[in-house]
Structures are given as C-alpha cells and as structure tokens.
Structure 1
C-alpha cells in the first residue's frame, strides 16, 4: 500500500516553496504519494514548511484525527516548528523510517451566545482574543465556572491554551505553561483596573467573558474571526479534540524554550562545573 504524505507550504516564501519541491521529490523517490490540496485523506503525517501561522492553518486539516504535523521553520520564532531548514534531509529519513513521537496538544472549544440568543461555535489551539477592533476600549466582565471574578475596561482579553502561552499571551505578560499541563489561561491586555492578573484554571473549568460594548471581534488563532456585540457571552472549555505534533528529537520543552527565545542560561549547574 502506498504511503501518503500531505505537504503544506507558506504561499509567499520562495525559500519554503523551493524546499517543498525538494522534499516532494525526495519523498516521491522513497515511494510516497505526496498531496498538496484537498482533504487529508489517508496521509500519515502533514509536513509544513512555514512559520507558526502556516502550522496553525494545517491544524484545520488534522484536528479530530491523530494525524500529526511536523513543522519546518521558515518563519520567525517558529515555536511550533520541529526543525530548521538545514534539517530537511533528516526529516525525510525520519518520516521514511517512522521515527517520530506524538506530542498531544490541548485545544479549546469556544462558544459565543450573541445578544439576540443566536449561538456560534469555533475552536482554538493557541488563543481566542476578544479585541476592541478599533474602539477606544471594551468593557467586559470575567467569570470562571459560572461565578464572576472581575469587571473592567481593556484593549483585549485572551483565553489561551498552554500551547498559546508562548504566543500572544506571552507578549501580554501571561505565564509560560508547559504543554503537558492541561490548563486554560485568562489574560487581560491593557486593563484599566487594579486586579488584572492572568488567571490559570484547570481543564474541568469554564472561562467566560461577558461583553458590554458593541463593535468588538473574537479572533481565534489569528485566523477565524467572529463579530460580537454588547450582551454577548463567550465561553471557553477544554475540547475533546486535541492536535498532534510530530517530534523528531527528545529535546524537552525547557530546551526548546531556551533555544526559541535565545534565553541567557547561566545557573548553579554551570558554576558547579567550573
């Protein structure tokens, strides 16, 4: 039976397009059928050449399945990517030999109840951002498990997963949460209030944002937009459908964190070796 690979490439990066042609030729030479469009089909892995945005687009193909994504970084930080472009040849070898492990990433289901009672639903791997969308500020009330916890005006409020804790939430001052910790974050941005600390809740909780301002928009993973009006209620819950990333090496998350953010690492272990 012919093995299938799905290839996703950044549309506007010539270097990514060039590498995609190389990897497609190599995989074809190894007997794979390489697909670039249409449904996921019987693909056993999705290879993404691009940055985190391109990887997030690929999750729309794989969510609800156990098909993993392996990212080759042609973006900036590329926190979701597994390897840099110079590792392209090794990626082909490891795919051929099925030398990868699965990294299970929690996602969140987002439900919006609009002021007229209509409901809409979506999901997110990184975060759902309720944004002022050109307004001076938005007025919100925050709740956890059906109980109010705070109200204030702000520029935005994020509901984030551990995966998203190194993305928009990190820039907004939220904590870094290891991806194997099942939790949800509630992170206000530029809030006009005394109590605006990020909140971290368990996977069985529900996060809620009641909106009191018209003209806001809810943006999930920077890709899926939903206009919301005053009187809307946004709820986030842990989803039953994770996303899987393929890991090609055993570097722990702490090592990835240090590498991607170029963190200065000088501690007692270094001193102890001197």
Structure 2
C-alpha cells in the first residue's frame, strides 16, 4: 500500500512554501504520494514546515488519524519541531524510510459550562488560556482543584498547560519547565492581584476549575492553542483536565530534552564540569 504524506507549511512565509515544494518533489521521486489537505483519504504521516504555531495547526488537521507529525523548524524557538531548516532532505528521508520513533503527547480537554446551562468544549496540545475579553478591564476568577475551592483573585488571565506546553505561554508567564515525559497539568496565573498566585502543578488524575465571577468587570475568552476561542460569560465554569486524545510527534534523535532546552533557549552552560570531570576521569 502506497504511503500518503500530508505537507503542512506556514502560508505567510515564502521559505516554508519553498521547502514544502522541495519535500513534495523529493517524496514523489520516492514514489510517495503527498497532499496539502487531509481530505477524506488516509494520512500516514505529516511533515510540517514552520514554527510551533504551524505545528499546532497541523496537530488539529491530523486529529483523529493517528498520523505522526515531523516538524522542520522554520520559525524562532520551535520546541515542537525535531529538525531545523537545513534538514529538509533529511526529514524526507526519515519519513520515506520510517526511521523515526513516535512520542505521544498528552492534550488538555476543556469544558465550558455557561450560566444558562449550555456547554462548549474543545482540546489543546499546548495550553488553554483563560483571557479577559476587554484589555482595559480585570478578569475576576475563582480557581479550584479537584472540585475544591483554592483561591479567588483578579488577573489578566490564566494559562493551563500540558507538560509539552510548559515551554510556551506558561513559561512566559513565569511557570516551570516540565519535561515532556512528565504526566502533569500546570496552572499559571497572569498578573494576578493576589498574595497567593504561584504556578501550580498537579498529577494526571487531577483537574482545574476556573469560575468567572459575577463581579468580574470582563467576560472571559478561553483560547485553545492560540487558534480556537470559546466565550465564557460571567458565571461560567471552565473545567480543564488531561484528555484521552494524544498527539503523536515523530522523533528522529535520541538526544535528551536537556540538550534541546539548552539549544533552543541558548542557555549558558559555562562552568559545567560534568560527572566525568568531577570524578577525575
């Protein structure tokens, strides 16, 4: 059976479109069918050219297919991508030969219960962000864990993320970096007007609740991976837990996450001696 590869690229950057065309030609030369839209056909894998935003869009496109995503970073940090822009040919080779491992990443499942009784839902790979609907107003919320009240405060917003998303918006908000193999859910308040507003990390069986208080001067927007938005009215209850769906990311290297963290953030490691040097070896 011939394989079918989905090619996803950032349509607003010429270099990603050029890389996508190079990949299309290279796959055709290997007798592998490619497409730029999933359609109704089978998808065996996807190759993604762009930054993390493009990877998140691709994750939505292949949702439910089980197809792994192989990212080629052509953005800035690009934590979700395995390869860099000079690795287009290598990416095609890896997909053509199946020389990659697959990491399964947890998602978050979001349920928004509106005060009139209607229910909206969605999912995200990186994060669900509860944001104020009006920039000049404050969002007043009450936060709970496992159905128990924890704290109420005014804020600019709240980020609830997976371990995968801990290096994205949650990190910018002062949250911890969580290794992607840790089964955890994070909550990071943004500019909270409270004495207790530290980031929280809970285990896979726990869930967070964010209630938009009636006294809030703004309604809330629940933004999923920066792409899909749900309005949460005053009195709404937002429930976020780890979801059963997983996103499959193709991995072409056994390099540990620590190395990726140092490289992506340009961290200074001068002075590090390492185990061998410390022991005199």
TM-score above 0.5:
yes
In the other structure, the counterpart of 1:246 is 250
Distance 2:40 2:6 in 1: 7
In the other structure, the counterpart of 1:136 is 137
Moved more, 5-14 or 207-216: 207-216
Q: How many residues align?
A: 274
| CA deviation after TM superposition for structure 1 residue 40, in Å | 6.5
- The aligned runs of 1:54-203 (5 Å cut-off) are 54-133=54-133, 134-203=135-204
Matched, 1:230 2:247: no
Where 1:179 maps in the other structure, the secondary structure is coil
Where 1:143 maps in the other structure, the secondary structure is strand
| CA deviation after TM superposition for structure 1 residue 262, in Å | 0.7
Matched, 1:23 2:23: yes
Distance 2:100 2:70 in 1: 9
Please tell me whether the aligned partners of residues 6 and 43 of structure 2 are also in contact (alpha carbons under 8 angstroms). Answer: yes
Where 1:242 maps in the other structure, the secondary structure is strand
Instruction: Give CA-to-partner distance per residue, 1:162-213, whole Å, 9 cap, x none.
Output: 0110000000000111111111011101001100011101111111000112
In the other structure, the counterpart of 1:11 is 11
Please tell me whether the aligned partners of residues 131 and 156 of structure 2 are also in contact (alpha carbons under 8 angstroms). Answer: yes
Distance 2:21 2:267 in 1: 34
Where 1:231 maps in the other structure, the secondary structure is coil
Structure 1: runs of 5 or more not aligned:
none
Distance 2:136 2:208 in 1: 24
Where 1:259 maps in the other structure, the secondary structure is helix
**C-alpha RMSD of the superposition:** 1.4
Where 1:258 maps in the other structure, the secondary structure is helix
In the other structure, the counterpart of 2:273 is 268
Please tell me whether the aligned partners of residues 6 and 38 of structure 2 are also in contact (alpha carbons under 8 angstroms). Answer: no
Please tell me whether the aligned partners of residues 165 and 175 of structure 1 are also in contact (alpha carbons under 8 angstroms). Answer: yes
Structure 2: runs of 5 or more not aligned:
none
TM-score by length of 1: 0.96
Distance 1:95 1:152 in 2: 49
TM-score by length of 2: 0.94
Instruction: Give CA-to-partner distance per residue, 1:211-250, whole Å, 9 cap, x none.
Output: 1124321111000011111100000111111001000111
In the other structure, the counterpart of 1:39 is 39
